[in-house]
Amino acid sequence: MILSDNPLGLTCGMVCPTSELCVGGCNLYATEEGPINIGGLQQFATEVFKAMNIPQIRNPSLPPLEDMPEAYHVKIALLGAGPASLSCASFLARLGYSNITIFEKQEYAGGLSTSEIPQFRLPYDVVNFEAELMKDLGVKIIFSKGLAMHGMTLRTLKEDGYEAVFIGIGLPEPNRDSIFQGLRMDQGFYTSKDFLPLVAMASKPGMCACHSPLPSIHGTVIVLGAGDTAFDCATSALRCGARRVFVVFRKGFTNIRAVPEEMELAKEEKCEFLPFLSPRKVVLRGGQIVAMEFVRTEQDNEGNWKEDEDQVVRLKADVVISAFGSVLSDNKVREAMTPIKFNRWGLPEVDLETMQTSEPWVFAGGDIGGLANTTVESVNDGKQASWYMHRYIQSLHGIAVSTVPELPLFYTPIDLVDISVEMAGLKFPNPFGLASATPTTSSSMIRRAFEAGWGFAVTKTFSLDKDIVTNVSPRIVRGITSGPMYGPGQGSFLNIELISEKTAAYWCKSVAELKADFPNHILIASIMCSYSREDWTELSKMAEVAGADALELNLSCPHGMGERGMGLACGQDPELVRNICRWVRQAVQIPFFAKLTPNVTDIVNIAMAAREGGADGVTATNTVSGLMGLKADSTPWPAVGGGLRTTYGGVSGNAIRPIALRAVSAIARALPGFPILATGGIDSAESGLQFLHSGASVLQVCSAIQNQDFTVIDDYCTGLRALLYLKSIEELEDWNGQSPATMRHQKGKPVPRIADLMGKKLPSFGPYLEQRKKIIAENKLKLKEQSIAAALPEKKHFFPKKPIPAIKDVIGKALQYIGTYGELCNTEQVVALIDEEMCINCGKCYMTCNDSGYQAIQFDPETHLPTVTDSCTGCTLCLSVCPVIDCIRMVSRTTPYEPKRGLPLAMNPAC
The string of DSSP letters for 596-611 reads PPS-SS-HHHHHHHHH
Contacts of residue 302, Cβ cutoff 8 Å, sequence gap at least 6:
none
Ramachandran assignment for 631, one of left (phi > 0), alpha (psi -120 to 50 degrees), beta (any other): beta
Rounded CA-CA distance 159/154 in Å is 9
The string of DSSP letters for 2-50 reads HHHH-TTHHHHHHHS-TTTTTTTT-GGGGSSS----HHHHHHHHHHHHH
Rounded CA-CA distance 344/899 in Å is 85
Beta bridge pairs of residue 620:
678
DSSP state of 685: H
Is residue 557 part of the annotated active site? The answer reads yes
766 and 686 Cβ atoms separated by less than 8 Å:
no
Report the candidate in 290, 293, 296 with the shortest Cα–Cα distance to residue 189. Answer: 290
Torsion angle, alpha carbons of 48, 54, 60, 62, to 10: 110
206 and 791 Cβ atoms separated by less than 8 Å:
yes
Beta bridge pairs of residue 49:
none
DSSP state of 416: G
Rounded CA-CA distance 764/855 in Å is 24
Count of alpha carbons within 13 angstroms of residue 541, beta-carbon side? 9
Give yes or no for a cis peptide into 896 (omega within 30° of 0): no
396 and 71 Cβ atoms separated by less than 8 Å:
yes
Count of alpha carbons within 13 angstroms of residue 527, beta-carbon side? 31
Rounded CA-CA distance 702/183 in Å is 68
Report the candidate in 568, 578, 664 with the shortest Cα–Cα distance to residue 625. Answer: 568
770 and 754 Cβ atoms separated by less than 8 Å:
no
Report the candidate in 276, 247, 243 with the shortest Cα–Cα distance to residue 264. Answer: 247
Other CB atoms within 10 A of residue 354 CB: 17
Q: Which of 529, 557, 570, 717 is catalytic?
A: 557
Report the candidate in 276, 271, 278, 228 with the shortest Cα–Cα distance to residue 253. Answer: 276
Report the candidate in 567, 572, 566 with the shortest Cα–Cα distance to residue 605. Answer: 572
872 and 854 Cβ atoms separated by less than 8 Å:
yes
Contacts of residue 485, Cβ cutoff 8 Å, sequence gap at least 6:
478, 491
The string of DSSP letters for 81-126 reads -SHHHHHHHHHHHHHT---EEEEESSSSSSTHHHHTS-TTTS-HHH
846 and 882 Cβ atoms separated by less than 8 Å:
no
Rounded CA-CA distance 540/545 in Å is 9
Q: For the chain, how many helices (H) and strands (E)?
A: 27, 35
Other CB atoms within 10 A of residue 902 CB: 5
Enumerate the active-site residues.
Answer: 557
